[in-house]
Structure 1
Amino acid sequence: MEYTIEQLNGHIEGFYWFGKEDVRLTRLPASTFPRLRKDVAFLATNTAGGCIRFKARTSMIGIEIVMHPSRPYEKFSRAGQCGLDVYADGHYVHTFVPPRDGYFISVAETDGARSHDYSIYLPTYASLEIKSLCVDEDITPATKHRVTKPIVFYGSSITQGAYASRPGLAYPSILGRLLDAEIINLGFSGNGKCEPEVASLVSRIDAACLVMDAGGNLTAPEEEGIITVRYPAFLACVREQHPSMPILINNMQHIGAASWNTVFRRLCNRVRDAIKTTYETMLRSGDRNVHYTDGMDAIGPGDLDCTADGTHANDLGFSRYVSIMAPVLRRVLG
């Protein structure tokens, strides 16, 4: 059986606006792109966190896609940036790796002896069009998630998935499998700047929880102090629309350059202080649905082997992120 993108409506996760305006795989609605900064609009076309999810009994899964030109990243493998991961019942099966931009078609062998819930994780740092998905027999909806609403992650490059070795190992995707929840990945590499236009869009999502993993993109000298205004305003915008939704604030991890660059260390500390202050202010105001983890507990000054470049997490680093967030999310989501 062959399915087009239109026929996959109802099997697409991670794109909150999919099917409401069009069937483009964009993480923010395309109609808002003119109001967003150019870099945010471009990154919103990257399919991080997107997933095709279905149940089928099939001996193979075939995909036919067109990869759009992507920005090169020195520390990314092709699989990490542009791969598509196949999972069956939460277990890894295969990675499709388009060798170049443009047209790509491939087939993966799967277990045709019985039905499985399949998840195909889309690329973290690339854009694509799905021309067709092929399986032996009809697909049906996958088993419903235990968590009935999506978990939204907002942040920067690490949130988006840099530098996982493949898309299923970005920490939001791992948490989605552990918690049995749809995830919406709104990490924007270098551009998680807590802008009000983005806050307004995030506040429109009917979510089970917001994981706020932003801050690291507001450490430039020319942006000093912006975090103290934008960060609490972002959360206030979300809280206005969702008075009781759990919010998990994750503070900044250690960035290698802060070990020797005293100016950068001061800027990072200012961001960390602003994030912690926002959390404490929300608690003092009576908000009992705000929670806190510290990225330093995932990647601290002695943990740079958990990174690919002193900043961005590798697979070990992402497992550390999961280890600090999963217990809190399990508790707040019930």
Structure 2
Amino acid sequence: MSVQTEWRRLSVALLVWIPLFSASAQTDPVLWQWVNAESLTVAGQGWRDTQLPFDRLPARAEALVRPAVWNLSRNTAGVCIRFLSDATTLKVRWTLLNQNLAMPHMTATGVSGLDLYVNRDGRWHWLGAGRPERFPDNEATLFSGIPAGKRVYVLYLPLYNGLIKLELGVEPGFVLKPAPVCRKPPIVWYGTSITQGGCASRPGMAASNILSRRMDEEFINLGFSGHGLMEPEMAHLLAELNPALYVLANMENLKAEQVFERATAFVGVLRAAHPRTPILLVEPVRFSHAFLQPTVNRDILQKRRELRRAFETLLRNGVGDLHYVYGDALYGEDGEATVDGVHATDLGFMRQADALEPLLRGLLENSR
């Protein structure tokens, strides 16, 4: 090979290498300050003695509840991180527990993503979302280029997936610290897939999270998709908590013939542990397709009758501070509130919040 040919090959190699080197040299990676979210204010969690940092039931519950309930308790529905920051850019990285990022009728952001709100003049305003793209590790920029200034944030965790690890990142010199802890007793909401947040487009749109922002209250979301069955072990676990109010919305998961016995027994356990805590029984929603499906409609009506019978029986037996909400207002009458006739869209969750908010406010005012 001639010297001239060798020089030409070397020149081509240099032309290829130099731009790559230059681009690399121009990239000045920020040395991000990463903060473990466990060191910030964790809200919406009833127990702290959990296997993973953001599980919804205590570690010992694995030996108490059915495997399906335990697995669903690893989903982080309703759990959120509250923090203060003056950062102009915020990054997040999270490690998922389960590899199913999405469901056919529910977005990946709702199932496995993160949802950020900022407090703006005393009201919560959406700011950014972390969209999951792979399993198990994800990283996203929640916002960038905003004016510097101290603000309060809340980051909602996935509705139908669990987290092994969660970190927030800011550039050097900016603050990221815990927000003040809510000192008021929480509202405990036990129920079904609808309670858990199926099928909100993003975590902040689950009804309990909407109401938490509107009412400035902490909600503990104990929705268990398909498995909110009012079992005795769950009654005793809920009785360990010390809430301002219990909301029981389980009827969609029960058979009509189970409603009376399970509702009365469940309320009995809670009332024995908490003689003065308000308890709200929630009728099943009217499925959007029920008006043309007589069998579906009859089942809903029968569950409602059995729940009403349980409610009236408990009142006659001296159970006080027991309340009841009708189901028709929870989705509205136009059939537009669900993704599949049963599970709520964001519109459906907004309607639930609209229907429940005045009632919840009234119960809290009377009990505090």
Moved more, 68-77 or 232-241: 68-77
Number of corresponding residues: 325
SS of equivalent residue, structure 2 residue 189: strand
Give the 5 Å matches for 1:42-57: 42-57=71-86
Which residue does 1:244 correspond to in 2? 276
Amino acid in structure 2 at the alignment position of 1:139: L
Relative distance call for 1:248 and 1:78 in structure 2 (3 A) is same
Which residue does 1:94 correspond to in 2? 128
Which residue does 2:210 correspond to in 1? 174
Which residue does 1:279 correspond to in 2? 311
Which residue does 1:292 correspond to in 2? 324
Which residue does 1:325 correspond to in 2? 356
Aligned equivalents of 2:228 and 2:99: distance in 1? 19
- Render the CA deviation track for 1:177-201: whole Å, top value 9, x for unaligned: 1110111100001111111111111
How much does 1:293 deviate?
1.4
Counterpart selection for 2:220 from 184, 193, 196: 184
Relative distance call for 1:48 and 1:6 in structure 2 (3 A) is closer
Which residue does 2:6 correspond to in 1? none
How much does 1:257 deviate?
5.1
Amino acid in structure 2 at the alignment position of 1:189: S
SS of equivalent residue, structure 1 residue 306: coil
- Render the CA deviation track for 1:265-294: whole Å, top value 9, x for unaligned: 333222211222222233334444222211
Counterpart selection for 1:82 from 93, 107, 112: 112
Which residue does 2:28 correspond to in 1? none
Q: Is the 8 A contact 2:50 2:57 kept in 1?
A: no
- Render the CA deviation track for 1:238-268: whole Å, top value 9, x for unaligned: 1111111111221111124543444443332
Amino acid in structure 2 at the alignment position of 1:123: P
Amino acid in structure 1 at the alignment position of 2:129: T
How much does 1:42 deviate?
0.7
Q: Is the 8 A contact 2:99 2:136 kept in 1?
A: no
Which residue does 2:158 correspond to in 1? 123
Aligned equivalents of 1:155 and 1:226: distance in 2? 15
Aligned equivalents of 1:42 and 1:206: distance in 2? 24
Question: Is the aligned partner of 1:259 residue 2:291?
Answer: yes
Q: Is the 8 A contact 1:247 1:291 kept in 2?
A: yes
Aligned equivalents of 1:107 and 1:129: distance in 2? 19
Aligned equivalents of 2:97 and 2:336: distance in 1? 32
Q: TM-score normalised to the size of structure 2?
A: 0.83
SS of equivalent residue, structure 2 residue 176: coil
Which residue does 1:228 correspond to in 2? 260
Root mean square deviation of aligned Cα: 1.9
SS of equivalent residue, structure 2 residue 127: strand
Aligned equivalents of 1:198 and 1:242: distance in 2? 15
Moved more, 42-51 or 93-102: 93-102
How much does 1:70 deviate?
4.6
Q: TM-score normalised to the size of structure 1?
A: 0.91
Aligned equivalents of 1:23 and 1:36: distance in 2? 17
How much does 1:143 deviate?
4.2
Aligned equivalents of 2:357 and 2:38: distance in 1? 34
How much does 1:312 deviate?
0.8
Aligned-residue identity in percent:
34
Amino acid in structure 2 at the alignment position of 1:174: I
- Render the CA deviation track for 1:18-72: whole Å, top value 9, x for unaligned: 2x35553211112211321111111000000010111221112221211122555
Which residue does 1:59 correspond to in 2? 88
Question: Is the aligned partner of 1:135 residue 2:177?
Answer: no
Q: Which runs of 5+ in 2 are unaligned?
A: 1-32
Q: Which runs of 5+ in 1 are unaligned?
A: none
Aligned equivalents of 1:131 and 1:175: distance in 2? 24
Aligned equivalents of 1:320 and 1:41: distance in 2? 30
Amino acid in structure 1 at the alignment position of 2:306: A
- Render the CA deviation track for 1:130-152: whole Å, top value 9, x for unaligned: 2422234333332454x711111
Relative distance call for 1:199 and 1:70 in structure 2 (3 A) is farther
Runs of 4+ in 1 over 6 A off after TM superposition: none
Aligned equivalents of 1:75 and 1:16: distance in 2? 29
SS of equivalent residue, structure 2 residue 272: helix
Relative distance call for 1:268 and 1:172 in structure 2 (3 A) is same
Relative distance call for 1:138 and 1:81 in structure 2 (3 A) is same
Give the 5 Å matches for 1:103-118: 103-109=137-143, 111-118=146-153
How much does 1:229 deviate?
1.2
Amino acid in structure 2 at the alignment position of 1:81: V
Give the 5 Å matches for 1:154-173: 154-173=190-209
